[in-house]
Chains A and B, each alone.
Chain A
Amino acid sequence: MSTDPWETLRAATRARVGLGRAGDGLSTPENLRLAAAHAQARDAVHAPLDADAVVAALGERAGPVVHSRVADRTEYLQRPDLGRRLADDHGLERGDHDLAVVIADGLSARAVHDHAVAVVDALLPRLEGWSVAPVVVAQQARVALGDDIAAALGARMVLVLIGERPGMSSPDSLGAYLTFDPRPGRLDSERNCVSNIRPPDGLTYDGAAEVLAALMTESFRLGLSGVGLKDTGTALPPVAG
């Protein structure tokens, strides 16, 4: 066991304890480490989604690329209401599906680039017998944009895979939001969320897919999602959008 008590502290948590000081303030290395972590998070928020790359990775499962009514990132950050509404020229064709899957940039395109298609890969084989609409890629999107998309597609459930608000130590965290009978006006309390999908530090793809498949099956059985669908182990983050 270390005899340096500060080392003991640092080993006990990934919180930033035992930092080096310069006088009362933080030392140069500590300041630079904090600046670097913030920079990663900032870049994750502002990096544009490479929709073509996501579509290419989806291959034959890919559906249309759609856009919310937000014009740019600055507006996206200030107008969550517009990020929840589908632009008129969406090109979605109405069908009859059990499930619509939406890959949405949210607050971290990096999370989408790194993890979203892998979650789709892990999840779809677990949904034997489900009719799944082609996967929609959505830009400048909030979670509730999935309601508009699912309504346009004629889907009885929507799963939105979306980049979560980056933390200082987690610029690439993907969230998965499940909504039964999606339609405009659904409340956050009517959704279930599996968050912090980002191997190796967070949830693995198989782990997330396992939880999601179980939730989705139960959601169909009960005919609801949200607070009435328990054992998610995860609460909705407060700033889910």
Chain B
Amino acid sequence: MSWTGRAQRRGKFRTTLGGHSYTFDDLRDLLAKATPLRSGDVLAGVAAESAAERVAAQTVLADVPLTHFLDEAVVPYEDDDVTRLIMDSHDAAAFAPVRSLTVGGFRDWLLSWEADTATLAALAPGLTPEMVAAASKLMRVGDLVAVARKTRVVTGLRTTIGLEGRLATRLQPNHPTDDAVGITASLVDGLLHGAGDAVVGINPATDRPSTVRALLDLVDDARQRLDAPIQSCVLTHVTTTLELLEQGAPVDLVFQSVAGTQAANRGFGVTLDQLREAREAALALDRGTVGRNVTYFETGQGSALSADAHHGSNGGGVDQQTLEARAYAVCRAFDPLLVNTVVGFIGPEYLYDGKQILRAGLEDHLCGKLLGVPMGVDVCYTNHAEADADDTDTLLLTLGAAGCAFVITVPGGDDIMLNYQSLSFQDVLQARQTLGLRPAPEFEAWLGSVGLLDAAGRVPRLVPEPIRALMA
């Protein structure tokens, strides 16, 4: 039966807690009120008004059957192509193992021994973003880590991403003027520290196609000179990448920022059809060696609200974590190699402090993986957030324990183009050693071949001649 043919239940939810009665307008309102506190939901006016109301909402949410999520959309089906994508691609057969469960029962099931890696992988097409967002709202940090750790999504192009016991990195050699020498210096520094196995990904200072092309050529040339199994990406708008693909540029990965509503994606100037077209063009180049995943997406809680594109059913706003999970439904439709939430970048009006950033990063990571997306995180903060390097260390280590596919690294953790702090190469070296994690296997073998990996799996501080030659 088609979605539009179903009876759409729009009843209110009610409960009593501690002598107070609480009413929630619809599923959208219930999800928002059940969300752990974050500044963006307060800014949007959708957050619970008290701690008690939040727990009341969580209590009601725990009893909502998962099947209800197939009958009530948080953003109307007729208004939004992301909702249509979610509903129309839902796999009822894959959903069968959990279809009789409530949200609370689903949380317990996810934590159960029965829900092992193979079971969770098979379940992914049967889950909607709203279901996984709902379950995550009932989880604590320990739950978010435990369930994510056994959820695996493996992808590949020239390296294999997402394998157990591995933590890959995006090497992000940004420069405020896209200067080739400056970018090369940061690229070299990253490679010397064992970074770059997920992607060498540059945020260009300008979207000018000739500049983007020059950066693509720069990294592709370095890859060939070093015979290194890496993929590159210049994070420009998908229409620019399409133009460059037509000109024969060495495009490994099609990049786009995406969000969880059609209106927010319109704000990014992107449609699902454009993403399809660009993916097909990149696939046709057949540049992969170990896999054929050719897209890369970035997302982040608050992106829809910042575009005033967070509106849902009954004229109300949707909470930012639910919308973020919906963005992963967009990503998974295009078989990505990599997806990451830029969790602390957007600022304190969406995630105020280290506590909110930590939780959001772990929620995003879990929700993405449960939906079948190869999930990484840009562990980061801006200087106007109440956060510092202790908070990024904490999130990095918890993500490492949770089996995160990759994190983003910049020299010294200081991105001199985007003016925010992410992780340093050394942060990841330390976390890999602390947690016993290794780089992607193909890249690890290359590191060993050039002398950048000792017998204990450590990266010595030296400069092999072929890499040194890049600076000449």
- A residues at B contact (CB < 8 Å): 5-6, 8-10, 12-19, 21, 23-26, 30, 34-35, 37-38, 41-42, 44-45, 77-81, 107, 165-170, 239
Contacts and interface: CB of A to CB of B under 8 A. Distances in A.
A80 B426 contact: no
A17 B383 CA distance: 21
B184 A12 contact: yes
B182 A15 contact: yes
A25 B412 CA distance: 11
B301 interface: no
Contacts of A26: 424, 426
B290 interface: no
Give the size range of B's interface with the partner.
35 or more
Given A5-B471, A24-B430, A107 B414 contact: no
B410 interface: yes
Interface stretch (B52-60, B127-135, B145-153, B343-351): B343-351
B182 A45 contact: no
Contacts of A81: 43
B39 A78 contact: yes
B166 interface: no
Given A9-B185, A19-B411, A79-B349, 12 more contacts: A12-B185, A13-B181, A13-B185, A13-B186, A14-B182, A15-B416, A17-B185, A19-B426, A34-B413, A165-B383, A167-B383, A170-B419
B188 interface: yes
Nearest to A34: B412
B214 interface: no
A114 to B, nearest CB: 17
B471 A9 contact: yes
Contacts of A41: 383
B421 interface: yes
Contacts of A17: 185-186, 188-189, 411-412
A78 B382 contact: no
A25 B186 contact: no
A24 B429 contact: yes
B285 interface: no
A38 B468 CA distance: 31
A38 B389 contact: yes
B388 interface: yes
A6 B186 contact: no
10 contacts: A13-B186, A19-B424, A21-B461, A34-B412, A38-B389, A79-B43, A80-B349, A107-B384, A168-B414, A168-B419
Contacts of B458: 24
A17 B352 CA distance: 30
B43 to A, nearest CB: 6
A26 B173 CA distance: 19
A38 B388 contact: yes
Interface in B74-129: none
B448 to A, nearest CB: 17
Contact of B414 (A5, A8, A16, A79): A16
B42 interface: yes
Contact of A165 (B175, B388, B413, B419): B419
B116 to A, nearest CB: 32
B463 interface: yes
A216 B182 CA distance: 34
Nearest to B425: A19
B289 interface: no
Contacts of A107: 384
A13 B175 contact: yes
B16 interface: no
B314 interface: no
B185 A78 contact: no
Contacts of B432: 24
A225 to B, nearest CB: 20
B185 A24 contact: no
B433 interface: yes
Contact of A25 (B43, B183, B430): B430
B170 to A, nearest CB: 15
Contact of A15 (B349, B410, B429, B430): B410
Most buried by B among A15, A44, A166, A169: A15
A240 to B, nearest CB: 11
* Interface pairs A-B: 10 shortest CB-CB: A16-B412, A167-B419, A12-B185, A13-B182, A41-B383, A24-B429, A17-B189, A5-B463, A24-B430, A15-B411
Contacts of A10: 185
B433 A78 contact: no
Nearest to A17: B189
Nearest to A78: B39
A232 to B, nearest CB: 12
Contacts of A165: 347, 382-384, 419
Contacts of A21: 426, 461
A14 to B, nearest CB: 6
Interface string B453-472: 00000110101000010010
Contacts of B188: 9, 17
Contact of A18 (B189, B346, B413, B427): B189
Given A5-B463, A38-B389, A166-B383, A78 B429 contact: no
Contacts of B429: 24-25
Contact of B412 (A6, A30, A80): A30
Interface in B377-425: 382-385, 388-389, 410-414, 416, 419-421, 424
A169 B412 CA distance: 12
A147 B429 CA distance: 48
Given A24-B426, A239-B347, A15 B412 contact: yes
Contacts of A34: 389, 412-414
A42 B188 CA distance: 30
Nearest to A106: B384
Contact of A19 (B173, B412, B463): B412
Contacts of A79: 43, 349
Contacts of B413: 16, 34
